[in-house]
Amino acid sequence: MTGDTGGRPLIELEGIAKHFGEGETRVEALRGITLAVGPGEVVGLLGPSGSGKTTLLNVIGCVLEPSAGRMVLDGETVYDGRWTRRDLRQLRLRKIGFVFQFHNLLPFLDSTDNVALVLDLAGLPVAEARRRANELLDYLEVGHRRHAFPAALSGGEAQRVAIARALANRPRIILADEPTAALDSSRARVVVDLLRRLAVEQRAAILVVTHDEKIYDRFDRIFHLRDGALEVERPLTRSRRKS
Amino acid sequence: MNLAYRDIRHHRGRFLLTCLGLGLLLAVVLSMLGIYRGLVADALTLVRAPAVDVWVVESGTRGPFAEASRIPGDTREAIARLHGVAAAGSLTYQSVETRHRGRRLRLQVVGYEPGRPGGPPRIVEGRPIARSHYEMIADRASGLLPGDRVRLGRNIFTVVGLTENLVSSGGDPVVHLTLRDSQELQFELAPSAARRQMARGTAPGSTDFVNAVVVRTRPEIAPERVAETIRRWRRLSALTRAEQERVLTRSVVDKARKQIGFFTTLLLVVSAVIIALIIYTMTMDKLREIATLKLIGAPDRTIVGLVLQQALAMGILGYTFGALLILAVADHFPRRVILRPEDGLGLGIAVFLVCLLASGLGVRLALSVDPAAALRG
């Protein structure tokens, strides 16, 4: 089911809506979201608290079923009535990489095994998984911390290990939830630049939820979300991005 | 990649401490089972020690252990002449308290006729009683050694031999004296009391009484038949060995047995609840990690394995700690603790099942975790 879709968007949302509750308690969390993110693109998703950013991330991450709309991830139409919980789990494992605000590394695994775990879950032999994990850690310049446990890593190092984990299965889609929130401005820029590099090299679509103004200029496009609806899609010029 | 093992290895200090705590609890359960077995075994020791088939006691009583029994000393000669009786011996039983080397010593005195049934079953050190007076055979549990001299009543006795694991139902070590010495100890009045009785014009009574006569029947004769014959005499009661054992376990130690049984059951229930709580708490501590695992695509079996394997590892380690601990300290208990392999195996299986059931709570909690929780701040 995987494959290069060329210039075709890897994330396609069409009229996605999500509501919680019914009657008087009904809350419209997402309203008619339509967006597309193509290969090699790094897109920012901004919005105030409660605007629906995390809900949208959950929907795209296949952990929350939308109430209405159509979603296509890497050419596969999700939630069309054929998807079981197992299928969604497999889809997440194969096609989506997650980067979290607080890195969410498993505290009882060292850096190598945190990355290798995803490969192990995908069925790779442990030795091979570890070899590839170490390659990734070297690539992300945290190879020297491969035996360190998350508690011993700095914020930047932990986030790099988390990115390595997100990339381990070479996913076409990477969803990042406030990946720079716990980092200072210089480290934040380094992390986003890293994501940009990966997007280009791996032809992946990267969607970053953020409040961090320091990194706005690192995105190809920025979506603003307010009260569950996309308000603005603001493209950034290359020159501004590179400044 | 075994996540349960990796988590345990990373938090080994906390995990081992938890297992140690559980082990202490299971050691208490095992010790209660051992005390229970020891209580029953101790209660039956005195009945089994003489290796006899019939107990002859005072009419209308279930003596000499459950009730007091006093029969004339010449009863043994009459019994010995009965058809089917191979040998008979007179016995007395009495609890005494004395002091030895500055410590209080509580003893169960058994008076027997050397050469007849009722003597100590096996002497592990020293020799049997060879003189008709003032020699005794003591159980090791008394702390006495061959050559020790102990005052019982008005006389001083020399320990000439030692027995092992011979205690009364109350846990008091048994000492064996000759029947004559024990009768004197039990029935003879102190000189001042005897003088008072003489002054009142009443001659001191005979001391030729015994508490029971024990009978070994001929192999071809059923003990029930001999007991039945004796019961017809009306002045005597007769109990077979099986009846005597039943009387002891149902009357003498019954309440203690039930008490320990209830307490053991209660401890097992408490252990089950504690195991369940520990596993539940261990799972609660990992909710974020579980949510992350689910989000990145870990199958349910990985999550279930994480909880289940840790629960079983905790049960196995806790049980091993407990068993080793109780094996190390069992001999230091004031009363006998009998650890039977079948009890250990039974508790092991119970712990395994409890861990399995208790992990069900943790598994349920883990499976209910929403992967979206990993994305919440």
Query: Which residues does B46 contact at the CB level (< 8 Å), separation at least 6?
Result: B65, B93, B108, B110, B166, B168, B169, B174
Question: Over the range B216-253, which residues count as b (16 or more CB within 10 Å of their CB) and which as e?
Answer: bbeeebebeebbebbeeeeebbbbbbebbbebbbeebb
Residue A31 lies in a domain: no
Residue A92 lies in a domain: yes
The whole-angstrom distance between B277's CA and the closest CA on chain A is 22
Q: Is B289 within 8 Å of A107 when comparing Cβ atoms?
A: yes
Question: Over the range A196-226, which residues count as b (16 or more CB within 10 Å of their CB) and which as e?
Answer: bebbeebbbbbbbbbebeebbbbbbbbbbbe
Spatial separation of the C-alpha atoms in residues B113 and B129, rounded to whole Å: 10
The whole-angstrom distance between A239's CA and the closest CA on chain B is 33
The residues facing A173 across adjacent strands are A96, A205
Instruction: Supply the DSSP string of A67-79, one letter for each residue.
Output: SEEEEEETTEEES
> Which residue pairs, CB below 8 angstroms and at least 24 apart, start in A73-81?
A73/A10, A73/A11, A73/A12, A73/A173, A74/A1, A74/A2, A74/A5, A74/A10, A74/A172, A74/A173, A75/A1, A75/A3, A75/A5, A75/A8, A76/A1
Mean pLDDT of A7-26: 87
Contact B175, B108 (CB under 8 A): yes
Spatial separation of the C-alpha atoms in residues B113 and B93, rounded to whole Å: 13
- pLDDT of A243 > 80? The answer is no
Query: Rounded to the nearest 10 degrees, what angle do helices B3-10 and B12-48 cross at?
Result: 90
Percent of chain A residues past pLDDT 90, beyond the cut: 30
Residue A230 lies in a domain: yes
Q: Is A100 within 8 Å of B289 when comparing Cβ atoms?
A: no
Task: Enumerate residues 189 to 218 of chain A having a beta carbon within 8 A of any beta carbon in chain B.
Answer: none
Fill in the amino acid letter for A117: L
Q: Residue A13: its pLDDT value, please?
A: 92
Residue A74 lies in a domain: no
Give the torsion sign (CA, B109, B115, B117, B121).
positive
Residue A11 lies in a domain: no
Residue in chain A closest to B6 (alpha carbons) equals: A108
Spatial separation of the C-alpha atoms in residues B214 and B232, rounded to whole Å: 17
Instruction: Supply the DSSP string of A181-195, one letter for each residue.
Output: TTS-HHHHHHHHHHH
Domain with residue A135: its CATH number is: 3.40.50.300
Query: Chain A contact for B372, CB < 8 A?
Result: yes
The whole-angstrom distance between B20's CA and the closest CA on chain A is 21
Q: Residue A214: its pLDDT value, please?
A: 77
Question: Of A92, A102, A149, which is closest to B295 when you measure between CB atoms?
Answer: A92
Contact B159, B148 (CB under 8 A): yes
DSSP state of B167: B
- pLDDT of A235 > 60? The answer is no
pLDDT tens track for A58-96: 899 988 889 999 999 988 898 877 888 888 888 888 889
- pLDDT of A150 > 90? The answer is yes
Q: Residue A218: its pLDDT value, please?
A: 82
Q: Which two tokens stand for residue B27?
A: 């050691």
Domain that holds residue A128: 38-65+84-242
Residue A7 lies in a domain: no
- Beta strands of chain A (E only): which ranges? 11-20, 27-37, 42-46, 68-73, 76-78, 96-99, 173-177, 205-209, 221-226, 229-235
Q: Is A149 within 8 Å of B10 when comparing Cβ atoms?
A: yes
Query: Chain B contact for A67, CB < 8 A?
Result: no
Q: Is A165 within 8 Å of B289 when comparing Cβ atoms?
A: no
Q: Residue A7: its pLDDT value, please?
A: 67
Partners of B6 on chain A (C-beta within 8 Å) are 108-109, 113
What ipTM did this prediction achieve? 0.81
Q: Residue A1: its pLDDT value, please?
A: 33
The whole-angstrom distance between B293's CA and the closest CA on chain A is 9
Closest of A64, A106, A84, A96 to residue A172, by C-alpha: A96
Residue A30 lies in a domain: no
Q: Residue B328: its pLDDT value, please?
A: 93
Q: Which two tokens stand for residue B299?
A: 């199958």
Instruction: Supply the DSSP string of B236-301, one letter for each residue.
Output: EEEEEHHHHHHHIIIIISHHHHHHHHHHHHHHHHHHHHHHHHHHHHHHHTTHHHHHHHHHTT--HH
Spatial separation of the C-alpha atoms in residues B162 and B143, rounded to whole Å: 10
Query: Chain A contact for B228, CB < 8 A?
Result: no
Residue in chain B closest to A176 (alpha carbons) equals: B375
Partners of A89 on chain B (C-beta within 8 Å) are 294, 297-299
Query: Rounded to the nearest 10 degrees, what angle do helices A155-167 and A185-202 cross at?
Result: 10
Question: Over the range B66-91, which residues count as b (16 or more CB within 10 Å of their CB) and which as e?
Answer: beebbbbbebbeebeebebbebbbbb
The whole-angstrom distance between A242's CA and the closest CA on chain B is 30
B81 Cα distance to chain centroid: 37
Instruction: For chain B of 377 residues, list the mean pLDDT of each consecutive stretch of 10.
Output: 90 92 92 86 84 91 84 88 92 90 91 91 92 92 92 90 88 92 79 68 71 92 90 87 86 79 87 87 89 89 91 92 93 87 91 87 88 76
Count of domains observed in chain A: 1
Mean pLDDT of A150-170: 88
pLDDT tens track for A107-145: 999 999 999 999 999 888 999 999 999 998 988 888 899
How far apart, in Å, are the Cα atoms of A2 and each of A10, A76, B63, B186, B336? 11, 9, 89, 98, 71
Spatial separation of the C-alpha atoms in residues A60 and A39, rounded to whole Å: 16
The residues facing A221 across adjacent strands are A43, A235
Query: Chain B contact for A180, CB < 8 A?
Result: no
Fill in the amino acid letter for B255: K
Strands B135-139 and B155-163, bridge-based pairing: parallel
**How crowded is residue A83: how many other Cβ atoms within 10 Å of its Cβ?**
16
Question: Of B3, B297, B370, which is closest to A92 when you measure between CB atoms?
Answer: B297
The whole-angstrom distance between A230's CA and the closest CA on chain B is 21
Residue in chain B closest to A100 (alpha carbons) equals: B375
DSSP state of B357: H
Partners of A112 on chain B (C-beta within 8 Å) are none
Residue in chain B closest to A87 (alpha carbons) equals: B297
Q: Residue A212: its pLDDT value, please?
A: 77
Q: If you count residue pairs, one on A and one on B, with CB atoms under 8 Å apart, how many are there?
A: 76
Q: Residue A242: its pLDDT value, please?
A: 47
Partners of A113 on chain B (C-beta within 8 Å) are 1, 6
Spatial separation of the C-alpha atoms in residues B181 and B177, rounded to whole Å: 6
Q: Is A98 within 8 Å of B374 when comparing Cβ atoms?
A: yes
- pLDDT of A167 > 80? The answer is yes
Domains of chain B, by residue range, sit at: 3-43+255-375, 49-253
| Helices of type H across chain B | 3-10, 12-48, 75-80, 179-187, 191-199, 223-231, 241-247, 254-284, 287-295, 300-329, 341-368
Q: Residue B190: its pLDDT value, please?
A: 65
Query: Chain A contact for B9, CB < 8 A?
Result: yes
The whole-angstrom distance between B4's CA and the closest CA on chain A is 10
Contact A79, A60 (CB under 8 A): no
Q: Is A93 within 8 Å of B296 when comparing Cβ atoms?
A: yes
Mean pLDDT of A27-34: 90
- Beta strands of A67-186 (E only): which ranges? 68-73, 76-78, 96-99, 173-177
- pLDDT of A237 > 70? The answer is no
Query: Chain B contact for A92, CB < 8 A?
Result: yes
Structure-derived torsion over alpha carbons of residues B88, B94, B95, B98, reported in degrees to the nearest 10: -100
Surface-to-core class of residue B370, CB atoms within 10 Å of its CB (0-12 exposed, 13-18 middle, 19+ buried):
middle
pLDDT tens track for A190-204: 778 888 888 888 888
Closest of A153, A221, A220 to residue A187, by C-alpha: A153
The residues facing A13 across adjacent strands are A35, A71
- pLDDT class of A2 with cuts at 50, 70, 90: very low
Q: Residue A236: its pLDDT value, please?
A: 55
Residues, chain A, total? Answer: 243
- pLDDT of A3 > 70? The answer is no
Query: Which residues does A32 contact at the CB level (< 8 Å), separation at least 6?
Result: A15, A16, A17, A69, A229
Query: Chain A contact for B292, CB < 8 A?
Result: yes
Q: What are phi and psi for residue A183, nearest 5 degrees?
A: -115, 155
Query: Chain A contact for B290, CB < 8 A?
Result: no
Q: Residue B209: its pLDDT value, please?
A: 86
Residue A175 lies in a domain: yes
